[in-house]
Structure 1
Amino acid sequence: MIAQILLDVVLPIFVLIGLGALMQRAFRLDLYTLAKINFYYITPAVVFLSMYHSEMSPALLGNVTLFYALYVLLLYVVSTIVSRRMKFNRGMKAAFTNSLILDNSGNYGLPINQLAFRGDPLAASLQALIMTFQSLVTFTYGVMSVQRAKTGGTLKAALIGFLKMPVPYALVLGLVFHVFRVPLPEFASKPLGYISDSMVSVALLTLGAQIVKYPLRLDRLDVYISVILRLLIGPAIGLLLIFLLGLKGVPAQALLIASGMPTGVNSTILAEEYDNEPDFASQTVLISTLLNIVTITALISLAKYVG
């Protein structure tokens, strides 16, 4: 089973990431443009269609929301305890916490979900919802924590940044169209479908190009602590919450896999934007993504026995 998951799900993901890395080395791709294509063009289409075709009940929506809120809260508590024990300064504490709670649920998590669940609409809508919640956390707490550490930024500025993102609007619009059974005309559904179909290849190419820009270093203890917490303690918390909330079947499996994503590239973008521990942030993204080959394979195997 593990070998099959590795060959059918994980290896295709890392082949595409590797191709993105090779293309970045060869051609120095425009990462800013690639990120904008993913964020403003592909991801909103994927989120809209995922919610439009969703099979999620209101009760399940509430449970997923509660799951994610508790998941982030518990990771924050873990981060606070470790930061105090390690005597991190204010800037390092912000970077360390972001490395735990800002995961790669978008351009990595969505492709993993698609391959692991073979495009199951319910699983896809769950991952799209998690990604939207992740965007909310990134552009509120994530931005604000780094701003406060460096410049004393405000919640208002962070919220304005969040409201400029297209993903939340795509999610709400998809849900509205789903609830009221609004038919999509052919001239809208076809383009959305074509855009959505490009997600796996373009998102992973972008991820490969993004992570290869950082040189690999193996000499930072704080990076290893972050990676262990992100890849092992994160899924353990996810599994505990799944049992406590009584989640079963595909929702339980999808949420368990979603809880094991590597550190998100957004943590590095924030660190670079505010010059707040950029080396630490880049190393956690790179090393957690590489080690995720092992941990995500194990999680997908375990998920089959959950619920």
Structure 2
Amino acid sequence: MIGSLVHAYTPLIFWTGMGALLFKYLPQSFPRFLGRSLYWVGVPWQIFALVRETDFNANAGLAPAITIATLGTGLTIAWLTLQVLLWLKTVSKPTWLSAIDSWLPPLDRSSQGTFVIASMLGNTGFVGLGLIPALLGGGDMSWAVFFSVTQNLIGTYGIGVLIASHYGRSETQSSLWTLLRDLITVPTLWAFAASYTTQSIPFPEWGETLVHSSLLFVIPASFLLMGMRLIQLKGIESLKTATISVLLKALVLPTLVAIAVAVLGLNHDARLSLTIMAGVPTAFASLILAEEYNLDPDLAASSIALSTIVILATIPIWLLVS
């Protein structure tokens, strides 16, 4: 397990550090440009490659259904928690709550959107699929792959885009039409459709190489963006504001999933895969969506950083209970 974590985290640490070092030499607008480039080109490229090598015949019904249920649960918990936090703003705070005020997230409209997304979506691609093979020891990977594909399509670039579009605009500007327009123009969904329909068509060798070279560019670029945003944070104070979203994402949600898959009587590989995937760190896509839809990139970066640290402590727990 330690070897898997080292393997998964080494490029994260390297490229994030590079992003932090390079930031002061780059224009202030570059992080937003990089985030939008990932949204429109990088992530669709990566999804095209992932879909092309996915066997959609195995576990095609149950795994996506569990993933959608997990997304719905995460969204519900995040939204209810947000309503409680907003309500606390309107009442007289007891002394104990005022003492932990610095641990609460900012609650302006853009931060609300980031809070919900960061509490719901996980990094199932790089961290999840990077850890699962070693943790399963050659077991059934199909559950993890289907979880990752389903979350990316329905969660990140379906529900996530709707949330980002809604909170990235004022209430008067957010309408059903603008939400639908943003959804149907998501490039990742078009990339999925194109890859799925051409899955049986053999590409020339250079074409396959080009498709699968996405990992050489998209993941490092995502980490560079994270480093550029982390270097702008105000130290530990910024990380403290991500505490609640990380607790929901890294502890509450995977605990509920672990209970659910045990009740369903799934085998060990399925239980471990689904629990780990539910508890992976906050998705890098939360930062990409924050850049594209003018949400709160600081809260997104803080949630990613803190949840990436927390998973070091939670993985042994999920191994034990699964």
For residues 45-100 of structure 1, what are the alpha-carbon distances to aligned partners after superposition, in whole Å with 9 as ceiling and x for unaligned? 22122111112426x23323322332232233323443444315796588446424
How far apart in 2 are the matches of 1:304 and 1:93?
38
Answering whether residue 158 of structure 2 is matched by residue 139 of structure 1, we say: no
Q: For residue 39 of structure 2, what is the aligned residue in structure 1?
A: 39
CA spacing shift, 1:154–1:202, aligned 2, 3 Å: same
For residues 214-242 of structure 1, what are the alpha-carbon distances to aligned partners after superposition, in whole Å with 9 as ceiling and x for unaligned? 33352897643233222221222332343
CA spacing shift, 1:214–1:158, aligned 2, 3 Å: farther
Q: Which amino acid aligns with 2:153?
A: T
Q: Which moved more, 1:97-106 or 1:232-241?
A: 97-106
Q: Of residues 298, 312, 315 in structure 2, which corresponds to 1:282?
A: 298
Stretches of structure 2 that go unaligned for 5 or more consecutive residues are 91-106
Normalised to the residue count of structure 1, the TM-score between the two structures is 0.77
CA spacing shift, 1:80–1:144, aligned 2, 3 Å: same
CA spacing shift, 1:34–1:113, aligned 2, 3 Å: same
How far apart in 2 are the matches of 1:201 and 1:222?
26
How far apart in 2 are the matches of 1:199 and 1:80?
30
How far the C-alpha of 1:137 sits from its partner, in A, is: 0.9
Q: Which amino acid aligns with 1:165?
A: V
Q: For residue 64 of structure 2, what is the aligned residue in structure 1?
A: 65
Q: Which moved more, 1:116-125 or 1:33-42?
A: 116-125
Report if the CA contact (8 A) 2:254-2:275 is conserved. yes
Q: Which amino acid aligns with 1:282?
A: D
Q: For residue 262 of structure 1, what is the aligned residue in structure 2?
A: 282
How far apart in 2 are the matches of 1:172 and 1:219?
39
How far apart in 2 are the matches of 1:194 and 1:74?
34
Answering whether residue 196 of structure 2 is matched by residue 175 of structure 1, we say: yes
How far apart in 2 are the matches of 1:36 and 1:221?
27
How far apart in 1 are the matches of 2:206 and 2:238?
54
Q: Of residues 207, 210, 213 in structure 2, which corresponds to 1:194?
A: 213
How far the C-alpha of 1:32 sits from its partner, in A, is: 3.0
How far apart in 2 are the matches of 1:169 and 1:220?
35
How far the C-alpha of 1:168 sits from its partner, in A, is: 0.9
Answering whether residue 237 of structure 2 is matched by residue 208 of structure 1, we say: no
CA spacing shift, 1:77–1:203, aligned 2, 3 Å: closer
Q: Which moved more, 1:129-138 or 1:96-105?
A: 96-105
Report if the CA contact (8 A) 2:250-2:314 is conserved. no
RMSD: 3.6
How far the C-alpha of 1:160 sits from its partner, in A, is: 0.9
CA spacing shift, 1:69–1:189, aligned 2, 3 Å: same
Stretches of structure 1 that go unaligned for 5 or more consecutive residues are none
CA spacing shift, 1:146–1:247, aligned 2, 3 Å: farther
Aligned length: 294
Q: Which amino acid aligns with 1:203?
A: S
